[in-house]
Amino acid sequence: MSIYYDRLTLLLLWEVMIMSRDYVRFITVCLVAALLLLASVGTARAAPPIPPSALWYQVRWGDNLTRIAARYGTTAWLIAEVNGLADPDFIYVGQWLRIPITAPPPPRVHIVRWGETLSGIARLYGTSIWAIARLNGIYNLNRIYVGQRLLIPDP
Query: Structurally, how many domains does the chain consist of?
Result: 3
Q: What is the predicted pLDDT for the residue at 1?
A: 47
Q: What is the mean pLDDT of the chain?
A: 78
**Pair (127, 143) in one structural domain:** yes
- Give yes or no: residues 112 and 92 share one domain: no
- Please indicate, yes or no, whether the overall pTM of this predicted structure exceeds 0.95: no
Q: Is residue 49 situated within a structural domain?
A: no
Mean pLDDT within 38-42: 58
Within a domain: 48: no
Regarding whether 18 and 34 lie in a shared domain, the answer is yes
- Say what the pLDDT of residue 32 is: 64
Do residue 114 and residue 148 come from a single domain?
yes
What is the predicted pLDDT for the residue at 39?
63
Confidence grade of residue 96 (pLDDT, cut at 50, 70, 90) = very high
CATH of the domain at 90: 3.10.350.10
* pLDDT for 18 beyond 80: no
| 13 shares a domain with 36 | yes
- Asked whether residue 33 carries a pLDDT value surpassing 80, the answer given is no
Same structural domain for residues 58 and 89? yes
Last residue in a domain, options 100, 116, 134: 100
Q: Average pLDDT, stretch 91-117?
A: 87
Residue 155 has pLDDT above 60, yes or no: yes
Looking at residues 64-79, what average pLDDT do you find?
87
Question: Per-residue pLDDT for 120 more than 70?
Answer: yes
Region 53-58: what's the mean pLDDT?
82
Is residue 47 assigned to a domain? no
Domain containing residue 143 = 108-152
Q: SS in 3 state form for the chain?
A: CHHHHHHHHHHHHHHHHHHCHHHHHHHHHHHHHHHHHHHHHCCCCCCCCCCCCEEEEECCCCCCHHHHHHHHCCCHHHHHHHCCCCCCCCCCCCCEEEEECCCCCCCEEEECCCCCCHHHHHHHHCCCHHHHHHHHCCCCCCCCCCCCEEEECCC
Task: Say yes or no to pLDDT of 60 above 50.
Answer: yes
Q: How far is CA 113 from CA 71, 106, 116, in A?
A: 34, 22, 6
Q: Is residue 87 part of a domain?
A: yes
| Co-location of 114 and 130 in the same domain | yes
